[in-house]
Amino acid sequence: MAEFRHMVTHAVSRRSLAAAVVALATVPSLIAAGPAQARDIMAAADVGYPPFATTKPDGSFEGIDIDIAKALSDEMGVTIKVIDQPWSATIPGLKAGKFDMILAPATITEERAQSLLFAEGYGDATFSFLLPASGPDMTSLDDLRGKTVATNKGNLFDRWLTEREKQYGWTIVRFDKHSDAAAAVAAGQADAAIMYTASVGWLSKTKPVFKPSAYIVDNKEYFGYAFRTDQAELRNKVDAALECLKKSGKIAAIFKTWTGIEPLPTGMTTTVVAGYGPEGFSNYDKTEHAGACK
């Protein structure tokens, strides 16, 4: 009888062990079947370019792009971690795999779109003029005829002014930084300084000696976040989340908070683009998708 009980116990133990092995073997598959834990997204920003990304006294970052990154993180259910990179290092660093995306106001061009993936535009790359607060307003380019206009040396605004120099008869004074161009306006050395509207708004909002011009140059160019060409899935996720933030009005509100200027009513802060990426450029994906906003 004792031998019989030993045989039964041994058989039950073997069955229990086998069941345990089967149970353990199914654990990985159960984990795999559940929702995968999304990893953080590393994003490079040119911190020190207000109002898009600057450093607070405590060392943390703030600005338009930082606020949008926080909103995207909430919408996507992942954390976008922002690291500081000089603008000249962002595209090479992205292509080398040092980070996942460029979180900076890169103007979308066909040349860039051929070697990068862009999400749809999130802001309008309009530009306008920084004026002295005590001076007259500006409603057209004719108001600058014969006046002195400050700009950054060799940048796109310099080229834009130079192309129209004979037509409007303005004198161009060139500086190494747009902060120096702004200082020239404050000191009365220039009647206006040309720069992106966001920068004009931020300087006017934070420095009462300035005001923004009512005249805005809109060349239908847009700012966009960039990704590597092998990151279509990530680009598409960010693109879809941007659409949600546009629909809710969050992006337009962020721009207004930082610039004090009302975004263009039909501009890219509110316009949802069909498909993924900027329509009309290389690497645009016209695949339609339904919004699934938080």
One pLDDT digit (tens) per residue for the chain, 294 residues:
333 333 333 433 433 433 433 333 333 333 333 344 568 999 999 999 999 999 999 999 999 999 999 999 999 999 999 999 999 999 999 999 999 999 999 999 999 999 999 999 999 999 999 999 999 999 999 999 999 999 999 889 999 999 999 999 999 999 998 899 999 999 999 999 999 999 999 999 999 999 999 999 999 999 999 999 999 999 999 999 999 999 999 999 999 999 999 999 999 999 999 999 999 999 999 999 876 898
pLDDT of res. 30: 32
**Residues 124/263, Cβ–Cβ less than 8 Å:** yes
- Which DSSP string do the residues of 177-196 spell out, in sequence order? SHHHHHHHHHTTS-SEEEEE
pLDDT of res. 154: 87
Please give the CATH architecture assigned to the domain spanning 41-125+220-259: 3-Layer(aba) Sandwich (3.40)
Structural domain boundaries in the chain: 41-125+220-259, 127-217
Report how far residue 178's alpha carbon sits from residue 193's, in angstroms, rounded to the nearest whole number: 8
Query: Domain 127-217 falls in which CATH fold?
Result: D-Maltodextrin-Binding Protein; domain 2 (3.40.190)
Topology match between the domains 41-125+220-259 and 127-217: yes
The 3-class secondary structure across 43-76, one letter per residue, is: EEECCCECCCEEECCCCCEECHHHHHHHHHHHHH
Structure pTM? 0.84
**Residues 258/252, Cβ–Cβ less than 8 Å:** no
Report how far residue 275's alpha carbon sits from residue 281's, in angstroms, rounded to the nearest whole number: 12
Q: SS3 for 9?
A: helix
Report how far residue 140's alpha carbon sits from residue 271's, in angstroms, rounded to the nearest whole number: 26
